[in-house]
Amino acid sequence: MQQEALNLDFLLQPTTTGFYITPIIGGKPLSNEEIQNLDENIKKEIEKKEETLEQKIEENIKKLRKMDKELIDKLKEMDKEVAQKWIDFYIQELIQELSNIILDNEKEKLDNYFQDLKKDIMDNLENFLKFKNNEDSIPTKYKVNLFIDNSKLDNIPIVFEESPTLENLLGKVDKEVYQGILITDFTMITPGSLHKANGGYIIINIIDLLKEPFAYEALKKTIKNKKIIIEDIYQHLGISTKILKPQPIPFNAKVILLGPSLIYHILNELDQDFNEYFQIVAYFDSNLELNKFKYLNNYTLEKINDKKIDKIDYEKIRKNIIKSYINSILNLGLKNNLKKLNEDAVIELLKYIHRISDSKEKLTLKMSKIENILIEANYLTKNDKITKEAIINAIEHWEYRNGIYKEKIQEYILKDIININTQGKEVGTVNGLAYIKIGELAFGKPTKITCSIGLGKEGIISIEKEAGFSGQIHNKAVMIITGYFIQKYAQDFPLTLQARISFEQNYSILEGDSASLAEVLALISQISNIPVKQNLAITGSMNQLGQAQPVGGIKEKIEGFFEICKYRNHFPSYVIIPHQNINDLILKEEVIQYIKDKKFKIYAVKDIDEVIKIATDTDATIVHKKVISKLKEFYLKSTQKNNKKNKSTKRKAKK
């Protein structure tokens, strides 16, 4: 175009809006003033040439625009061809990668999605070309919401949901404020713990679940329908909101509910759906039995291992259990960033664990109690490691904080407000031992048991029962005592006895049979008129044959009586327990020391005869003879009285 302009004696100068045409004469561009001074004929000739040049310029511009459009269209076609190949390539790669993961019934949906995605990208290809590598500029509709990523898991997912709210279980659709209104999109859909547990297990505390509104019913609906539907909690509250409704996701996971057996039985009884959805129940003990494996016989173990076992090293198994248990305790310290424990501290902690397990053969599984003691011992210790003294101090501090009721009861006993004798001998009076638990602290309390006897046929009567202060187990125990008296003393003549047994200064419900030995001893003492030592306390159940049976709270009962004797300095003193409770004797060091010094003694008995011998210093045979003699005396008096009454009745009849 510049050449054509020169041929017509013009100079073309490009501008932002087009071209600026300048006439040339003699190879020199003319200014506007010079053009005005030219001859008219020359001016007309210049104008004519200028029109011709403008026409040619316009024609060339049209050609250029056409060529430009053709080039753009060609480039677009090339872009589409290249994009089509790359999109097909990546989609095929994705399909192959997902073919082993996606369910057969979901493959068609995935294919349809990829086809729609490809069409939309091709229709909006120019938008992608300007993004280059800036992913943040990509429109939201092309972004991916990675809902769940289990790529880093080596095994199936196991999820423990600590806060099982409706949203935490099912997921939710988040919202954000934009210009005063709430907006959302699919990238704000967040998964719940049920999504995270898909293909594996989810563990939920049933009490926490039942506390959360709508969560329990939503969980049941998910299990029933086998799909997770994200719900808006406001819809359950009757508040209408406009939100996204994500497509339900298939649910395939095992749901494990943890909680007290009482909750299980309540739900099983009252919720007709519960047993249908939760068909497997497993009960867990709160203690670990160290000798439980001994109950398995060799035949059972052979079946388990499918091979012959010549000998089982029980001691090795026991040591391995204790070692693993100690490691779990040490892990509690690591979890809470505590100091390490020295060897004496571990031993002292194990003693405490046996105490709260109520047996030498058990280890508690209530790790929260141990954790609290460790944390407090860590605070109290001044050394680099937690010491035995720190463990002892932590335990004592805990008992002191929880021991107000125990201190009050002991104060009343020491001030004789509650009458408990710990010296001398008395007829028909025995120190029993009660187990009391208030809050987290359990302790023992001595209780005075007395009885009175007389001629009559009412038998043995519990004053607590008559006053409505006894439970069914205690009532049964009184009937068992009556059975023992019939078996022991009423073989040659019927019982002609009325007896009253009372737990003195008891103003609350009395339950249990652990005072049976003490009650029988009180009755026998009263009937035989043989006194019982008052520096002695008794606990133990008994059957109709007079055999001792084990009871609970042994260590608390023994220590409760010991502390009263210690404060009064009334030693020596003694406690009688059933022989089956020997393994439950996890006593404090102070009590053990008094036993070593022969100031305090514990008798383990097999039957009531041993109790009689220890408590009265009299052979049981002699005592039984005196009881029979007294009961026979009652019987004869009753017979004589009845004979006199019958003779009197006959005389009246003759008259």
Per-residue 3-state assignment (H helix, E strand, C coil) for 56-84: HHHHHHHHHHHHHHHHHHHHHHHHHHHHH
- What is the C-alpha to C-alpha distance for residues 203 and 157, in angstroms, rounded to an integer? 11
Percent of the chain with pLDDT over 70: 88
Residues 469-472: contacts with CB under 8 Å, at least 24 apart:
469/506, 469/507, 469/508, 469/509, 469/510, 470/509, 470/510, 470/511, 471/509, 471/510, 471/511, 471/512, 472/511
pLDDT, residue 262, reads 92
- Record: fold of 423-637: Ribosomal Protein S5; domain 2 (3.30.230)
pLDDT, residue 59, reads 76
Residues 516-568: tens digit of each pLDDT = 999 999 999 999 999 999 999 999 999 999 999 999 999 999 999 999 999 99
Smallest CA-to-CA distance from 506 within 556, 469, 457 is with 469
Residues 485-494, mean pLDDT to the nearest whole number: 93
Residues 212-239: tens digit of each pLDDT = 999 999 999 999 999 999 888 777 776 6
Higher pLDDT, 367 or 125: 367
- Sign, Cα dihedral of 527, 528, 529, 530: negative
Terminal Cα-to-Cα distance of the chain (whole angstroms): 168
pLDDT, residue 311, reads 60
Give the range with max mean pLDDT: 39-48, 55-64, 468-477: 468-477
pLDDT band at 11 (very low <50, low <70, confident <90, very high): confident
pLDDT, residue 298, reads 45
- pLDDT of 184 > 90? The answer is no
Residues 376-403: tens digit of each pLDDT = 999 999 889 999 999 999 999 999 999 9
Percent of the chain with pLDDT over 90: 56
- What is the C-alpha to C-alpha distance for residues 495 and 632, in angstroms, rounded to an integer? 8
H or E element: which one contains 440?
Answer: none
pLDDT, residue 242, reads 67
pLDDT, residue 419, reads 96
- pLDDT of 302 > 60? The answer is no
Residues 234-260, mean pLDDT to the nearest whole number: 83
- Collapsing DSSP to helix, strand or coil, 14 comes out as strand
Residues 5-12: contacts with CB under 8 Å, at least 24 apart:
5/53, 8/49, 8/50, 8/52, 8/53, 9/46, 9/49, 10/49, 10/50, 10/53, 12/57
pLDDT, residue 3, reads 67
DSSP 497-551: -EEEEEETT--S-B--STTHHHHHHHHHHHHHT--EESSEEE--EE-TT-BEE--
Residues 622-651, mean pLDDT to the nearest whole number: 83
pLDDT, residue 292, reads 60
pLDDT, residue 86, reads 84
**Half-sphere exposure (Cβ direction) of 615: Cα atoms closer than 13 Å:** 37
pLDDT, residue 528, reads 96
Higher pLDDT, 144 or 617: 617
Residues 309-327: tens digit of each pLDDT = 456 677 788 888 889 999 9
Smallest CA-to-CA distance from 437 within 562, 286, 568, 560 is with 560
* C-alpha dist (Å) from residue 456 to 253, 429, 495, 498: 70, 21, 9, 5
- Collapsing DSSP to helix, strand or coil, 428 comes out as coil
Residues 298-314, mean pLDDT to the nearest whole number: 53
pLDDT band at 187 (very low <50, low <70, confident <90, very high): confident
CB contact at 8 A, 612 and 618: yes
pLDDT band at 653 (very low <50, low <70, confident <90, very high): low
- Record: fold of 158-271: Rossmann fold (3.40.50)
The secondary structure of 446-505, three-state, reads EEEEEEEEECCCCEEEEHHHHCCCECHHHHHHHHHHHHHHHHHHCCCCCCCCEEEEEECC
- What is the C-alpha to C-alpha distance for residues 655 and 652, in angstroms, rounded to an integer? 5
Smallest CA-to-CA distance from 190 within 207, 162, 215, 169 is with 169
Domain 292-402 has CATH 1.10.8.60: yes
pLDDT, residue 411, reads 96
Angle between helices 314-335 and 343-357 (to 10 degrees): 110
The pTM (predicted TM-score) of the whole model is 0.72
- pLDDT of 297 > 60? The answer is no
Work out the burial of residue 130: count CB atoms within 10 Å of its CB; fewer than 13 is exposed, 13-18 middle, 19 or more buried. exposed
Residues 32-55, mean pLDDT to the nearest whole number: 72
Residues 462-489, mean pLDDT to the nearest whole number: 95
| Mean pLDDT rounded to a whole number for the chain | 87
Rg (alpha carbons) of the chain, rounded to whole number: 48
pLDDT band at 169 (very low <50, low <70, confident <90, very high): very high
